[in-house]
Amino acid sequence: MTRPVPVLSDYDISPSHGFLALETPALRHPYYAKWEEVVRDLDALLQAKKLRHTIGHLPVLSTDYLETPAEWRRAYVCLTFMLNGYVWGEEKPEHRIPPPLTVPLLKVCRHWELPPIATYAGLCLWNHQHPVQGLPCPQPEDLVVSCTFTGTADEQWFYLISVAFEVQGAPVIPLMLDAIAAARTCNTVQVTRSLQRFAQHLEALTSLVDRMHERCDPKIFYHRIRPFLAGSKALGSGGLVYVDGATPPEAGRRYAGGSNAQSSLIQFLDLVLGIAHPSSSSSSSSCSSTGDSGFIADMRAYMPGPHRRFLEHVAQIANIRAFVEERGDALSELRAAYNACIDGMCVMRNVHLRMVARYIITPSRIAGADAQQQQQQRGDSSVAPLPASPQQKTVRGTGGTELIPFLSQIRNKTSRSRLPAVASARSRPPWITEPAARRGAARLSREKNQLATPVWLPPRIAWVDGGGGLHYYLLVLTASMAATVLVVVGYRTLEPNVSGF
């Protein structure tokens, strides 16, 4: 039997703010005052290298006074900020987590079905102070973050882009669940309209991601913020040992660091469009060349339990792609709307790739070159020479991936999800803005060879044409001419903006 379309409230999701918690205020119970104090002074304690000492001397608090979901969320935020600060806050990372952190943290994590490490939920979803309700389309500057490691505006902005992303993207969730229901009743018009609106939302979301550079300096991100986001996998084979003071310490645990790959919203966008990523690395038989096969699926373990189950539910009922394949021929508005969403996801991933180059690759190369220069100036032959070229050293994401090959692979997978369609020579559809249409043209330019080859044409075109012959080739010719025009426009205007990886 087909599962019903999920009801959002069953999964701790809201139609207006999605996966984001509406508010996670500071813990008011005086019993937890010490946690709030440490978190309030986190940057100062870290700068003074006093955080480990302070946490080591905290009392071991119970979770008995946490009552509301908001309080349980806030406890997770406080404890994971303290944890990552404790581990990464001094020159040498600390592997052993003391009982004042271990005992409450493991309980809070069991409550949320989250791992005991800083995740996207604690860093972004639950880490903003001001209620976002009431604002029709909150921008990052309208919001305030409650905890940071560094106290910098850059770190606030880094989280706030994601918070705004979650709230601006939230309407897509009910929109596309309704589209799934509409596809079940073969309501092509509604599915088409929903996909068109989805494509518009993607444009706005991409513009938001592109605002990262406005207030987050790549050097501050790379050298000051990013080290605190690392997971215990970055500690090598040992991992983190959580000491509870009562039982013999267990073996070290290894977790990935905080990453936007843990955003349920972005996984929802892929799922609903039928963009498939490899299943969990533990169950995956095929391993990608980057060794990161299954990473996206693995990231579900870093989402709060209800959100993870929501995605599992959606995966079982996602029908939009199949519906478009079945009902939308290559010329249809339905297929154009579907492909506009795929293109939108590609453009968003390209913007993200550029950002990763700017915020990780470039600063890591500069740091490598500086270190090399210092080594040469010292004439230090006692230490091993640094790699001759930065490429020799693999830069990894906080989630632990070999980042550029991994992200490019995901982007390519997204673009391959496009369904074959014939480019229309007519003007752009009214629901797509001009920049998006130009980006589409640039994409088309890359597909020019495919488009000019009759083999590329799907069987449906032959069906439309009554089985082939002259019309078939006229159709190919028209499509090729349209593509050539778009190719020229695309190469002239856009190619430098969307490529690069």
Q: Is 212 in the site for ligand HEM (CB under 6 A)?
A: yes
Q: What DSSP assignment string belongs to 60-83?
A: ---STT--SHHHHHHHHHHHHHHH
Scanning 17-25, 125-133, 177-185, 398-406 for contacts with ligand HEM by CB under 6 A, the matching segment is 398-406
Residues in the annotated binding site for heme b: 352
Q: Please, which residues have CB within 8 angstroms of residue 213's CB and are 6 or more apart in sequence?
A: 355, 358
- Selection from 353, 383, 362, 312 nearest residue 498 by Cα: 353
Closest CA to 131 of 158, 162, 167: 167
Q: How far is the CB of 44 from ligand HEM (least distance, A)?
A: 24
Going by the annotation, the residues of the binding site are: 352
233 makes contact with ligand HEM (CB under 6 A):
no
195 versus 202: smaller Cβ distance to ligand HEM: 202
Question: Smallest distance, Å, CB 23 to ligand HEM?
Answer: 21
- Within 13 Å of residue 161, how many CA atoms lie on the same side as its CB? 21
| Binding pattern for the stretch 334-363 against ligand HEM, x by CB under 6 A and - elsewhere | ---------------x--x--xx--xx---
Assign 99 to helix, strand or coil. Answer: helix
**Residue 261 in the binding site for ligand HEM (CB under 6 A):** yes
366 counts as binding ligand HEM under rule CB under 6 A: no
Q: In sequence order, which residues have a C-beta less than 8 Å from that of residue 73 and are 6 or more positions away?
A: 21, 24, 112, 126
**For ligand HEM, which is the closer residue by CB, 117 or 212?**
212
191-210 residues near ligand HEM, rule: CB under 6 A: 209
Nearer residue to ligand HEM within complex by CB, 35 or 310: 310
Among 118, 410, 442, 461, binds ligand HEM (CB under 6 A): 410
By the rule CB under 6 A, 266 interacts with ligand HEM: yes
C-beta closer to ligand HEM: residue 294 or 400: 400
Residue from the set 274, 344, 363, 399 that interacts with ligand HEM by CB under 6 A = 399
- Shortest distance, position 1 Cβ to ligand HEM, whole Å: 32
How many residues bind ligand HEM (CB under 6 A)? The answer is: 26
Site for ligand HEM in 140-169 (CB under 6 A): 161-162, 165
Taking alpha carbons only, the member of 334, 327, 320 closest to residue 273 is 320
Alpha carbons 486 and 344: distance in angstroms, whole number: 18
Closest CA to 54 of 79, 33, 34: 34
Smaller CB distance to ligand HEM: residue 86 or 406? 406
Is residue 84 part of the contact set for ligand HEM (CB under 6 A)?
no
List Cα–Cα distances, 439 to 344, 459, 496, in angstroms.
9, 27, 11
Tell me the residue number closest to ligand HEM, measured at CB: 397
State which residue, 103 or 273, has the beta carbon closest to ligand HEM. 273
Q: Which of residues 469-488 bind ligand HEM (CB under 6 A)?
A: none
> Got the DSSP string for 189-215?
HHHHHHHHHHHHHHHHHHHHHTTHHHH
Q: With binding defined as CB under 6 A, does residue 234 bind ligand HEM?
A: no
Beta carbons within 10 angstroms of residue 5's beta carbon: 16
Looking at the Cβ atoms of 210 and 244, the one nearer to ligand HEM is: 210
**Cα(346)–Cα(331) distance, rounded to whole angstroms?**
21
The closest of 476, 486, 484 to 427, measured between CA atoms, is 486
Spell out the long-range contacts of 176-184 with Cβ–Cβ below 8 A and sequence spacing 24 or more: 176/268, 176/272, 176/320, 177/5, 177/6, 177/8, 177/314, 179/272, 179/320, 180/5, 180/272, 180/317, 180/318, 180/319, 180/320, 181/5, 183/319, 183/320, 183/323, 184/2, 184/319
Q: Which is nearer to ligand HEM, 162 or 415 (CB)?
A: 162
Q: In whole angstroms, what separates CA 39 from the centre of its chain?
A: 26
Q: Which is nearer to ligand HEM, 338 or 406 (CB)?
A: 406
Q: In residues, how long is the chain?
A: 501
Q: Does 259 bind ligand HEM (CB under 6 A)?
A: yes
Q: Tell me whether residue 109 or residue 123 sits nearer to ligand HEM (CB atom).
A: 123
* R_g (Cα) of the chain, nearest Å: 25
Distance in angstroms (rounded) separating the CA atoms of residues 232 and 241? 10
**Among 18, 116, 138, 400, which residue sits at the site for ligand HEM (rule: CB under 6 A)?**
400
Shortest distance, position 172 Cβ to ligand HEM, whole Å: 13
CB of 499 to ligand HEM, least distance (A): 17
Does position 35 interact with ligand HEM (CB under 6 A)? The reply is no
Binding of residue 119 to ligand HEM (CB under 6 A): no
Q: Which residues bind ligand HEM (CB under 6 A)?
A: 161-162, 165, 209, 212, 221, 259-261, 263, 266, 349, 352, 355-356, 359-360, 397-401, 403, 406-407, 410
